[in-house]
Amino acid sequence: MQNTLKYDVVIVGAGNAALCSALAAKDQGAEVLIIEKSPQPHQGGNCPYTGGGFRFVHNGLNDLLTLMPSVDNKYNNLNMQPYTANEFKNHMIEVTRGDTDKDLMNTIVSESRPTINWMTNKGVIWELPSSRISSSINAPSIIPNSVGLSAYESGPGLIKMLTKSAKQNGITILYETEMTDLVQNKQKEISSIVCKDSNGTYQVNTRAVVLACGGFEANSDMRKKYLGEGWENAKVRGSKFNTGDGHRLAIKLGAQPTGQWSGCHATPIDINAPATGNQGITERMPRRSYPLGITVNINSERFIDEGEGFAEQTFVKMGSRILSQDKSIAFQIFDSKSFNLLEPRYNNSKPAISGNLNDLAKKLDIPESKFIKTITKFNKAASDGNYSPKKLDGISTNNLTIPKSNWGIKIDTPPFYGYCVTGGITYTYGGPKIDTKARVLDQNNDPITGLYAAGEIVGGILFHNSLRGAGLMHGSVFGKIAGTNAAIL
Ligand SMILES: Cc1cc2nc3c(=O)[nH]c(=O)nc-3n(C[C@H](O)[C@H](O)[C@H](O)COP(=O)(O)OP(=O)(O)OC[C@H]3O[C@@H](n4cnc5c(N)ncnc54)[C@H](O)[C@@H]3O)c2cc1C
């Protein structure tokens, strides 16, 4: 193994957090190297799979317009309220059920807007999140204020703009180059990083490494170990390159694992979704209209309250419960009353369809008599009538061991439809602990000298569910902080 290269700071990964780290380190005059495991077209891990939305503190629409390159009168009809620091904190606390690390949260919130300004100066072009505008552009409208802006051309655009900026700033990016080890000197300071590419393994001398290499969602062994039995079968919604390498190497050096290692963000997803993310295909695969029907496992049994809340509130739980069923699959069953209400993404599936339930069970290859028993029992406990899918209608089943708490309507109007689904993992929550300077901490809460982390790898920020636009925002905030501190170490 040769020591041929030397850099002040080495960044692992070339996603949003990594590129922000690299640019911030360069601002301090450091010589910066980025190593990226994937080939260039797959650069950016999970970022290209996002809509590129950022959640940050702002002062309403007029304030946001100052961050956008050209403002025209198409926004005249729109209004957006300010998004305050208190709102941001309350949303973080609510979604994480109070588990989020409060010091990290306070830093994310207070640094969110300055970081957006800094990214703008680094060449990121912003737009108002388009899905909201298209429906409101022709009518006076107040649009939601939490995710203020999206990167131009979404997640892929974000990576393109940040990469361009990194290259213009003289930052070297080595693709198809993987971190395989971290080396410390006798004083327990980071002294080099071991890299592997198609020519073999070599060492890069450095005094600081920023781990920005994502979660462990694409590593089936780690999923089984930390998330539990069944998770090895999950479809991966994002990058196949996020295999927890940073988690393992940081822990090997004594980093303190923190956060919700047993939890992750997940969703019910079509059984035919690709094993790992494929842009243009995977985003059409989530199956979240289950509140309009029932879901049974391979033994024809219901196993969860499908109507506990809106899908937005329950799909993470649903995705993970499906994975814990036999063979990690389930079937979403609908009748013709609900069929036309299914989200358009269902058009990409080929459901089993039949005019009678016995035949549907045969087509789905699940026990027929048990299926009839399950539906009969459900229908006895359910109500006649139609769905009110836009509100929690409180129409609950009566006396079922596993109730359906809303939309508890009989499944009785043929034709009947069955969709085979499994669980798709979006990203993981657990990871090494950092402090507000993005330094990786050991078991005694002391920094491991020269080791920093930012982005999805960091534990202790998100728990239980997702908060739209917070993943990218905390990656940028701590990416910038990590790069700055790594450079001035
Ligand atoms: C379908 C989907 C939708 C999402 N929607 C949203 C959303 O709406 N809003 C939001 O805020 N977040 C969302 N997220 C989460 C968001 O993608 C992440 O928070 C964000 O991308 C994490 O950025 P990162 O820079 O930490 O890691 P990533 O962007 O995942 O980048 C990690 C990089 O590290 C590289 N790498 C991994 N291991 C190594 C190694 N050993 N050596 C070198 N390089 C390595 C990878 O190839 C990759 O390029 C979504 C995720 C998915 C999958």
Does pLDDT of 294 surpass 60?
Answer: yes
HSE (side-chain half, CA atoms, 13 Å) at 96: 25
pLDDT band at 137 (very low <50, low <70, confident <90, very high): very low
| pLDDT score at 388 | 86
**Against a cut of 0.75, is the pTM above it?**
yes
Q: What gap in Å lies between CA 129 and CA 137, rounded to an integer?
A: 12
- For every residue of 64-117, DSSP letters joined together read HHTTSS---GGGTTEE---B-HHHHHHHHHHHTTT-S-HHHHHHHHHHHHHHHH
pLDDT digits 0-9 by tens, 469-481: 999 999 999 999 9
Instruction: Indicate which atom in ligand 1 lies nearest the CA of residue 19.
Output: 25
Instruction: Indicate which atom in ligand 1 lies nearest the CA of residue 17.
Output: 25
Q: What gap in Å lies between CA 88 and CA 96, rounded to an integer?
A: 12
Q: Which has more confidence, 73 or 460?
A: 460
Average pLDDT over residues 362-386: 96
Does pLDDT of 42 surpass 70?
Answer: yes
Give CA 463 to chain center in angstroms: 11
Q: What gap in Å lies between CA 44 and CA 13, rounded to an integer?
A: 7
| pLDDT score at 252 | 98
Which residues are near ligand 1 (CB < 6 Å)? 12-18, 35-38, 43-47, 49-51, 53, 178-179, 212-214, 237-239, 241-242, 245, 426-427, 455-456, 468-472, 475
> Could you give the C-alpha distances from 227 to 109, 200, 420, in angstroms and in order?
29, 33, 23
Specify which residues 53 forms β-bridges with: 150
CA 17 to ligand 1 center in whole angstroms = 8
Supply the residue whose CA is at minimum distance from atom 38 of ligand 1: 213
Supply the residue whose CA is at minimum distance from atom 37 of ligand 1: 213
Burial of 270 (0-12, 13-18, 19+ CB in 10 A): buried
Prior bond to 257 cis, omega within 30?
no
Supply the residue whose CA is at minimum distance from atom 35 of ligand 1: 13
Q: What gap in Å lies between CA 71 and CA 416, rounded to an integer?
A: 50
pLDDT band at 387 (very low <50, low <70, confident <90, very high): confident
Average pLDDT over residues 25-37: 98
| pLDDT score at 133 | 53
Distant-in-sequence, close-in-space partners of 298: CB < 8 Å, separation ≥ 6? 325, 326, 327, 329, 330, 331, 366
CA 214 to ligand 1 center in whole angstroms = 5
CA 219 to ligand 1 center in whole angstroms = 14
SS3 content of the chain, % helix, strand, coil (to 5): 35, 25, 40
Does pLDDT of 85 surpass 80?
Answer: yes
Does pLDDT of 43 surpass 50?
Answer: yes
Instruction: Round the average pLDDT of the chain to a whole number and report it.
Output: 94
Give CA 142 to chain center in angstroms: 27
CA 213 to ligand 1 center in whole angstroms = 8
CA 43 to ligand 1 center in whole angstroms = 10
Q: Sort strands 147-151 and 126-127 into parallel, antiparallel or unpaired.
A: antiparallel
Contact 8, 206 (CB under 8 A): yes
Does pLDDT of 73 surpass 90?
Answer: no
CA 253 to ligand 1 center in whole angstroms = 23
Does pLDDT of 136 surpass 50?
Answer: no
Instruction: Indicate which atom in ligand 1 lies nearest the CA of residue 47.
Output: 21
Share of the chain above pLDDT 70, in %: 96
| pLDDT score at 378 | 98
pLDDT digits 0-9 by tens, 222-270: 999 999 999 999 999 999 999 999 999 999 999 999 999 999 999 999 9
Does pLDDT of 135 surpass 80?
Answer: no
Q: What gap in Å lies between CA 177 and CA 370, rounded to an integer?
A: 53
| pLDDT score at 3 | 58
CA 108 to ligand 1 center in whole angstroms = 18
- Order across the sheet with 447-453: list the strands: 172-174, 32-35, 9-12, 208-211, 447-453, 439-441
CB atoms within 10 A of CB 186: 6
Domains assigned to the chain: 2-216+429-487 (3.50.50.60), 266-425 (3.90.700.10)
| pLDDT score at 481 | 98
